[in-house]
Amino acid sequence: MRVIVCKDYNQMSEEAAKIISSQIILKPNSVLGLATGTTPIGTYKRLIEMNKSGYLDFSKVKSFNLDEYYPIKPDNVQSYRYFMNENLFNHVNIDINNTRVPNGMAPDPVKEGADYDAQIEAAGGIDLQLLGIGRNGHIAFNEPDEALISGTHATSLTEDTIEANSRLFNSIDEVPTKALTMGMGSILKSKMIVLLANGKNKHNAFKKLLDEEITTSNPSTFLKVHPNVVLICDEECYNG
Ligand code: F6R
């Protein structure tokens, strides 16, 4: 794993946008794996600027998002589909039909998971997967557990994640308790992984990702088995 320590959030976002744009320039029909959350918003802003200035073309790009709450309608402002449209897709020249987010209204979540993995496979696999990290070491919604599920699946969120995500809802009771998520197996099939982490509140999670042996009680440690991972953080996250 390569670690890039940046001065601050803006520089972290700039570095991530540089890597993602290089990927798209080298392979215009890249398949991107995308994340929601607060962390990648700055990166998406930079990618939007690059697109608007004519430097970066998303017209052939395909994307698959890591996760979605379940059940949730795509037009619900709290849905990850809504987040992606608002923070990236509506502002760049990506074909919206080439963007996938797990279907939060899927009648059969098991089938949705299998179909989602099959769609990723059919697209040729993910070239570059962007990740954030939970305070508890979760990756996508793969929460610490005795065992991890490899493929895309439905899962329950931990109390810590519900509490962390409640900042985006009117009250903690509104936070969905379930989600559909790509599994660690699906994520580790990506050709390259870029994980972003910023701020003091991610220091412990970031340190554990670097220091701990591979364990299902810290899903982020599974990134150690992947040959092409770049971790980009800011000084606050790195130094604590
Ligand atoms: C989001 C996701 C989550 C977040 C993580 C960090 O699609 O899968 O694992 O990456 O919870 O969230 P933020 O960036 O809000 O701190």
pLDDT at 113: 98
Q: Rounded to whole angstroms, how far apart are CA atoms 77 and 169?
A: 10
pLDDT at 149: 97
Enter the pTM of the model. 0.98
Residue with CA closest to ligand 1 atom 13: 37
Q: Rounded to whole angstroms, how far apart are CA atoms 30 and 91?
A: 18
∠ CA 24-186-130, nearest 5°, is: 40
Cβ atoms of 236 and 7 within 8 Å: the answer is no
**Ligand 1 atom, smallest distance to 37 CA:** 15
Cβ atoms of 222 and 131 within 8 Å: the answer is no
- Angle, to 10 degrees, between the axis of helix 41-52 and the axis of helix 9-26? 50
pLDDT at 192: 98
Is residue 136 annotated as part of the catalytic site, yes or no?
yes
User: Of residues 15, 51, 67, 165, which has the active-site annotation?
Assistant: 67
pLDDT at 183: 98
pLDDT at 29: 98
Between the CA of 132 and the centroid of ligand 1 the distance, in Å, is 5
User: Of residues 87, 98, 136, 198, which has the active-site annotation?
Assistant: 136
Cβ atoms of 127 and 30 within 8 Å: the answer is yes
Probe residue for ligand 1, chosen from 12, 34, 64, 66 as the CB with the greatest number of ligand atoms within 8 Å: 66
Quick: pLDDT tens for 75-98.
Answer: 999 999 999 999 999 999 999 999
Q: What is the mean pLDDT of each run of 10 residues along the chain (240 residues)?
A: 98 98 98 98 98 98 98 96 98 98 97 98 98 97 96 95 91 94 98 98 98 98 98 98
Probe residue for ligand 1, chosen from 9, 34, 36 as the CB with the greatest number of ligand atoms within 8 Å: 36
